Amino acid sequence: MARYGMVMDMRTCVGCQACMAACSTENQTPFWSEKFRTHVEDKEVGTFPDVRRVQLPRLCMHCENTPCLSACPTGATHMDKNGIVLVNNDRCIGCYACCIACPYDARYAYEREDVEKEHELYGKDVSHETPHVDKCTFCVQRLKEKLEPACVATCPTHTRIFGDLDDRQSEVHKLAASGKAQALNQGLGTSPKVFYIPS
Amino acid sequence: MTFVHQEVWHWQIATYLFLGGLGGATFAIGAVLHLFEGCDRKMLSIAVMSSIAFLVVGTVFLLADMLQPLKAIYALTNPRSWIFWGVVFINFYFIAAIAYIIPLLDEWPLFQPIVQKIPAPIIGLLERFNKLVALGGSAAGFLVAIYTGLLISAAPAINFWNTPALPLLFVISGFSTGAAFLLLLSMLSSNPAAPVISAKLEQLDAMLIVTELIILGAYFNFAMFLPTGARASAEFLFHSPVFIVGFFVAGLIVPLAIETWGIFFGGHSQENKPKLPMLLASSLVLLGGYLLRIYVLKAGMFQYPW
Ligand code: SF4
Ligand code: SF4
């Protein structure tokens, strides 16, 4: 049993969006409708003349106190034994209560047209059989094969550091505990498992 | 920090929230009137039948907005979710409303053959416990009306919704639309007792509108207080002419003025009161209630930390 989490080192992100492409291919997310499980926010911070660009990669925070899970009437949204928040696609009725409850814009609708397009592109080898609400899974299917999530494996600048937050030897634990990394919107009490080292 | 308008729930859900509040409150007020004011069986049966229809149509809108409406039964899985409770309350409501209305249906020749098919002991039982069912039904109606607000207040990052003032606003507005709908029915009724009921409903609706105005004042005061998404939402509403003119002026102030005039200056004899202003007032309250839900949904903004 692990407690998977991620640290984003914003000092190194260059906004290449390779993570978005890797995730989209791995998880067959509907890039054709511009829907992704992970995004890179390109932000301007500061006021003139002291202005700079900041890249903020984001995805599901796999919150410990999970508003989406509380809002989901069907139990489709659940947390597995490794702390990963997942959606059981067959059980999801697409009521969107979770999308309203999520404070991190981590969810989107995999609509009927998206399922049709997916079948057109991937043939029989599809991972989304029915319309449902979709989100990041930390690539559970890859974790089972002892591989890192696709975005982490692809990131050329080592911005995304993934691992077991409870493993004291892991880089992710050390960074999360270092005090340098912070969770987003901590005031909401969601206890995210994704942390950010500011640039 | 960015504020982004929610693009998840639109007019379909607003319709569901409106019809849920209206249907729940219509039954609740109708049943209370029955308990305390006696029973005009014809009017009550129309009121309860319409309230059932409101909730059926509302539920159809909710289902139509889902990705997988045929699996909706799964919604009875997680009691931590407000939708779970919504399903429970609405079903409780349907059972109470149907049990309540069956004995009243013999007023209508059209339904008499159906009523006659129901075994006499069951009808006798329903007749005997009619008042008890009215009590249970009014509780169910209240729960359905307040649930519509609780549902959307469960959004931690939408500050404008995430407040206990919202369920309160929705329940009061729901009851005001319910009273307005019943007023509309009783104005059109030819029953000799109808003018007395109309006068009561007129007073009730005016009181509810005043309460709604107080809650709105508190709600917007809270929203404007902190530089959060709630302020951005409130500012959005202040700059929406349809919200200001359609909901606030036409849906609250004008009906309140008409009803106050009706209560104080409309003449002592209820029978001779002109009907048109009251019909207008109740229709405006209904329109205002619908606009309120549409605009509260439109104004919902996520406050994202990036
Ligand atoms: S980020 Fe959103 S989707 Fe992910 S666990 Fe938290 S509330 Fe749920
Ligand atoms: S859309 Fe699906 S996952 Fe989200 S709350 Fe509804 S049933 Fe649960």
Instruction: Encode chain B (306 residues) as per-residue pLDDT tens digits.
Output: 899 999 999 999 999 999 999 999 999 999 888 887 766 788 889 999 999 999 999 999 999 999 999 999 999 999 999 999 999 999 999 999 999 999 888 888 888 888 888 888 998 899 888 889 989 989 999 999 999 999 999 999 999 999 999 999 999 999 999 999 999 998 888 888 888 888 899 999 999 999 999 999 999 998 988 778 999 999 999 999 999 999 999 999 999 999 999 888 765 555 667 789 999 999 999 999 999 999 999 999 999 999
- With b for 16 or more beta-carbon neighbours within 10 A and e for fewer, the A133-147 pattern comes to bbbbbbbeebbeeee
- Determine the Cα–Cα distance for residues B15 and B10; give it in Å rounded to an integer: 9
Correct CATH for B2-304 of 3.40.1410.10, 3.40.50.1970, 1.10.10.60, 1.20.1630.10: 1.20.1630.10
Confidence of residue A7 (pLDDT cuts 50, 70, 90): very high
Quote the pLDDT of residue B19: 97
CB contact, 8 Å: A72 with chain B?
A: yes
Residue A126 neighbours by CB under 8 Å, 6+ apart? A28, A115, A118, A119
User: What are the phi and psi torsion angles at A69 (to 5°)?
Assistant: -70, -40
Tokens of B165: 């003032």
Helices (H) and strands (E) in chain A, counts: 7, 9
Q: Is the CB of A96 under 6 A from ligand 2?
A: yes
Domain boundaries, chain B: 2-304
Quote the pLDDT of residue B194: 84
What is the number of the ligand closest to the CA of A71?
Answer: 2
List helix spans (H) across B74-129: 82-101, 112-117, 120-128
Atom of ligand 1 nearest to the CA of A107: 3
Quote the pLDDT of residue B4: 95
Cis amide linkage into residue A49, ω under 30° from 0: yes
Mutate to test the interface with A, among B61, B68, B90, B296 (most CBs of A within 10 A): B68
Percent of chain A clearing pLDDT 90 (strictly above): 94
CB neighbour class for A20 (10 Å; exposed up to 12, middle 13-18, buried from 19): buried
What's domain A4-197's architecture?
2-Layer Sandwich (3.30)
Domain boundaries, chain A: 4-197
Q: Using one digit for the tens of pLDDT, what is the confidence trace for A100-152?
A: 999 999 999 999 999 999 999 999 889 999 999 999 999 999 999 999 999 99
Quote the pLDDT of residue B37: 73
CB contact, 8 Å: A10 with chain B?
A: no
Which residue is listed with tokens 């009590």? B135
Mutate to test the interface with A, among B2, B9, B78 (most CBs of A within 10 A): B78
Total Cβ atoms within 10 A of residue A127: 14
Q: Give the Å distance between the CA of A63 and the centre of ligand 1.
A: 6
Quote the pLDDT of residue B268: 52
Query: Looking at beta carbons, which residues of chain B come within 8 Å of A111?
Result: 67
**Strand pairing partners for A56?**
A41
Query: Would you call A75 and B4 a contact, using CB atoms and an 8 Å cutoff?
Result: no
Q: Using one digit for the tens of pLDDT, what is the confidence trace for A26-76?
A: 999 999 999 999 999 999 988 989 999 999 999 999 999 999 999 999 999
What is the number of the ligand closest to the CA of A91?
Answer: 2
Q: Is the CB of A77 under 6 A from ligand 2?
A: yes
